[in-house]
Structures are given as structure tokens and as C-alpha cells.
Amino acid sequence: MRTVVIGGSFAGLTAALELKRKGKEQHEVTVIDKSPLFLFIPSLIWVPFGRREIKDISFRKDTLLRKKGVEFMNTEALNVDPENKIVKTSMGDVSYDHLVIATGPKVKYDVAPGVKEYAHYIGTPNGAMKTRAALEEFKENPGPIVIGATQNAGCMGAAYEFLFNIEKWLREQHIRKKVDLYWITPETYLGHFGIDGMPGGETMLKSFMKMFHIHYRTEVGVKEVFPDKVELTSGEVLPSKFTMLMPPFIGVDFVKNSPALRATETGYIPVTNDYRHLTYQDVWAAGIAVDVKLPFKPGKVPFSGPKTGYPSDETGKIVAENIYRLSKGKTKLKEKAWGRIPGICVMDAGKKEVIIISDTLFKPRKFAIMIPNVLYDFNKVLFEKYFLWKTKHGLSYLP
Ligand SMILES: Cc1cc2nc3c(=O)[nH]c(=O)nc-3n(C[C@H](O)[C@H](O)[C@H](O)COP(=O)(O)OP(=O)(O)OC[C@H]3O[C@@H](n4cnc5c(N)ncnc54)[C@H](O)[C@@H]3O)c2cc1C
């Protein structure tokens, strides 16, 4: 039985390694990825400040996969013909018995004019390094800064992390007094995070904003970004010498170019709670590629929900388990809706952190807590070290 996994990151790498570990010789597993490197994306927020280099947070996944008996194809998947079970890639056609789509997101930079040209984005190695160079220039001639998330964005947490990190960096550079720092967000309230918040979250973030003298605007979108200012959908214009924005995520071109998958308008794969495609029983999705229904009513300005690392990893595990069960002739599959997966996250706040734990990601929840740690961000560092260690060693079954 041959399973092809497209995308070898949090979701895809986990799915591939888990399936190979469980299925051993009976399962042939192939990972297709454009990049041979695994990158621990959450630590990209530290790259602009020189706290991490890209090499510190990445490793060769092709070597790891081959060592574990998984074939690796360093190429781009172009589209899939699910009727004939063939994936077209830049290196030729690949056939499968089961297909796992774990392709993550594409960044929608054209969400508003000027976002691509004048706002920085820290979610890619290249973007993080360009941000570092821009900050080096900025510190010679400081001025106002705008940080935030645009309309339709869902990954607000990373933008909050960058905000508190830049605030700390400004103090370390002794230029904080010369900088008016603005936070802009489409969220209806601070700390909504696209999950309708956590107990005490809004109050905590409001006190952080006050303590660090950060001006903020909620329920705003971006109309246009210019080299020296950001025009908001509210009509307000904020001066800005340095802008970092988190645009929305959409599905990747592979999904868009595979019409038979009947993806949502935003390019995500419709699946049931076992992560199996609604129509094609041998097609699965994991991680950000999964279509997740919003757990809250949108406000004045649209925004989306976060698809973080923990549920990405978990859905990779569920998919591997279900393909394995089917191969053993079982019909009962493991099910867990995205929003019922526990919420586990550490938000860095610039050598401080907030630990976020809940029994389920979305409401209703039985248990939810936010624990601030103002002494140091050692849990975030620990999480990074642990995740890189377990992934480098292919120990994908660990939590
Ligand atoms: C700046 C930032 C900070 C974050 N911080 C946190 C955090 O602190 N905690 C947390 O839990 N989450 C965080 N996240 C979210 C986390 O990174 C994602 O949840 C996780 O990366 C999703 O994993 P994935 O496998 O679904 O997709 P991705 O990690 O995006 O991986 C997709 C993979 O698919 C490959 N691919 C895509 N298309 C193709 C194709 N056509 N052919 C071949 N290969 C393809 C890509 O090369 C990539 O390797 C952060 C995200 C960002 C951007």
C-alpha cells in the first residue's frame, strides 16, 4: 500500500513518520516537499532580533525520512487527479493508494495595496531576515512603528509575539522613547485570537499595552500601506517608519489547481472529523490545509481562527492512525474535530511569556487558563528545544 504525503512540516512529517512506524514494511510512504529542510516556524519571531539564526531552527528532513524508511521527493506537487489517484509533480506523475494533503498555507499579500511592498512579514526565513536588515537601518533613524494583523488574518498570536519582542528590542537599543508603537488588529477585542479569547486574556493584554505604552486599535483593517504610513479601514492614518503585518492565509496553489478536491473559497480541504475528504475516501488532509469552521461570530472587520502547531501535529497523527486502521481491515476510524483538540500554546512576550492551556481549542470549554510568566520565556525556549529534538530524531509519536 502506498501513501503519498504532500508537505513535510508539522502535519505531513508527523503523518508520514507515524504511518511508517505503525505500518512498517506493509506501508510504503512517500513525502513530497518543495524544501528538504524542516523549519521550526514558531521561532522565526526571534530571527529579526538576532536571537536565532535560521540554521538554529532547521534541519534536513530528507535525511531523517530516508533513515526512517520513508521516500522523499524534493519537488513541487502541481495538482491531483483523485479519480485516477495520480499526483502531478515537477518531477513527473506519482500514483497513490492514499493521499495526505499537508501543504500548509499561502500568504495572501494582496489583501490590501502596499502590504507586499511596504509591510514586513516574519513568517518565512527570507521575510524574517529582511526584517532584521530593516530593523538595523531603522535604529539609526527611528520613528513610529505599526505592528498588527490585517483583515481576514487568523495567525494573530505570532503578530502579538512580534509586537512584544520589538518593544523589548527598542528598549535594549535605547530608542524606545523615540518610537510611537501602534498595534492594529481586526479582532473584536484584544486577545480574541480567533478562538473567542481565554479567561482573563483581554484584561492581561490591556495591562501589557498600558505597561509598555503601546497604542492599540481593535476592529480595524488595513486600507493601504505606504512607505511612511498605514491607512486603516476606519479612515485613520497612522504614521509608520517600520510596518510588520500578518496577512491572511489561504490554501496553496496545488489545492487551487486541483478542482476535483472541491476546496473552500479560501482553498482549504473539506473533511469529516476523521480528516478524510468529503468525497474521496482515499484523500486526507492534516494541519493548516484542513477547512475549519469559524467558532465565533465575525465582527465589523472579518478575521479568522488560528491553525497552530499542536492541532497540526495531532491531525497528522489521526490521519496516520486512520490509514493504518483501514489497512488492517478496520472500519472504525479515530475522530476528533479540530476545535475539540486541546489548546496548548506558549505566547512569547519579549523574554516574558504567557502559557495558554485549555481542554479544547474552541468553546465550550471545561477548562481554560492563561498563565503569565514575567521572569523569562523559558517555556517557549523549552518547547522549541523539545520539538526540534523529538522531530530531528523522528519521535513523532511523542506529544
Ligand atoms: C510566524 C509564525 C509563528 C508561529 N508561531 C506558532 C507558535 O508559537 N505556536 C504554534 O503552535 N504555532 C505557531 N505558528 C503556526 C505553525 O507554524 C503552524 O501551525 C504549522 O506550521 C502548520 O503546519 P503544517 O504542516 O500544516 O503547514 P506548514 O508548516 O506550512 O508546512 C507545509 C509544508 O508543505 C510544503 N508544500 C506546500 N505546498 C507544496 C507543494 N505544492 N508541493 C510540495 N510541497 C509543498 C511546504 O514546503 C511546507 O514544508 C506560527 C506560524 C507563523 C507563521
In tens, the pLDDT along 50-105 reads 999 999 999 999 999 999 999 999 999 999 999 999 999 999 999 999 999 999 99
Facing residues of 60 across strands?
37
Average confidence (pLDDT) over 7-13:
98
- Checking phi first, is residue 287 left (phi over 0); if not, alpha (psi -120 to 50) or beta? left
Q: For residue 266, what are the contacts with CB-CB under 8 A and spacing of at least 6?
A: 248, 250, 251
Assess whether the C-beta atom of 383 lies below 6 angstroms from ligand 1: no
Q: How far is the CA of 9 from the centre of ligand 1 (A)?
A: 6
Q: What is the CATH number of domain 2-106+249-338?
A: 3.50.50.60
Average confidence (pLDDT) over 306-313:
96
| Weakest-pLDDT range from 108-112, 246-250, 291-295 | 291-295
Q: Kindly state the helix (H) or strand (E) to which residue 165 belongs, with its residue range.
A: helix 156-172
For residues 189 and 209, the answer to whether their CB atoms sit within 8 Å is no
Question: For 62-69, which contacts have Cβ atoms below 8 Å and span 24 or more sequence positions?
Answer: 62/36, 64/38, 64/391, 64/392, 64/394, 65/8, 65/13, 65/16, 65/17, 65/31, 67/394, 68/17, 68/20, 68/21, 68/394, 69/20, 69/29
Confidence of residue 374 (pLDDT cuts 50, 70, 90): confident
Q: How far is the CA of 104 from the centre of ligand 1 (A)?
A: 5
What is the atom index within ligand 1 of the atom nearest the CA of 311? 19
What are phi and psi for residue 384, nearest 5 degrees? -60, -50
Assess whether the C-beta atom of 307 lies below 6 angstroms from ligand 1: yes
Pick from 6, 9, 60 the residue to mutate for probing ligand 1's pocket: most ligand atoms within 8 Å of its CB: 9
d(CA 102, CA 123): 17
Mean pLDDT rounded to a whole number for the chain: 97
Q: pLDDT tens across 171-205, in order?
A: 999 999 999 999 999 999 999 999 999 999 999 99
pLDDT above 90 (res 387): yes
- Determine which residue's CA is closest to atom 50 belonging to ligand 1: 42
Mapping DSSP to helix (H, G, I), strand (E, B) and coil, where does residue 210 land? helix
pLDDT above 90 (res 351): no
Assess whether the C-beta atom of 102 lies below 6 angstroms from ligand 1: yes
pLDDT for the residue numbered 158: 97
pLDDT above 90 (res 295): no
Assess whether the C-beta atom of 48 lies below 6 angstroms from ligand 1: no
Q: How far is the CA of 87 from the centre of ligand 1 (A)?
A: 21
pLDDT above 90 (res 375): no
Q: How far is the CA of 21 from the centre of ligand 1 (A)?
A: 23
- Determine which residue's CA is closest to atom 30 belonging to ligand 1: 104
Identical fold between 2-106+249-338 and 109-248: yes
pLDDT above 90 (res 239): yes
Tell me the three cell numbers of residue 167.
Answer: 518593544
CATH 2.70.70.10 fits 109-248, yes or no: no
Confidence of residue 41 (pLDDT cuts 50, 70, 90): very high
Assess whether the C-beta atom of 288 lies below 6 angstroms from ligand 1: yes
pLDDT above 90 (res 378): no
Pick from 6, 10, 39 the residue to mutate for probing ligand 1's pocket: most ligand atoms within 8 Å of its CB: 10
pLDDT for the residue numbered 161: 97
Assess whether the C-beta atom of 252 lies below 6 angstroms from ligand 1: yes
- Determine which residue's CA is closest to atom 4 belonging to ligand 1: 42
Confidence of residue 107 (pLDDT cuts 50, 70, 90): very high
Assess whether the C-beta atom of 345 lies below 6 angstroms from ligand 1: yes
d(CA 202, CA 188): 11
Residue-level length of the chain: 399
Going from N- to C-terminal start, the domains of the chain cover 2-106+249-338, 109-248
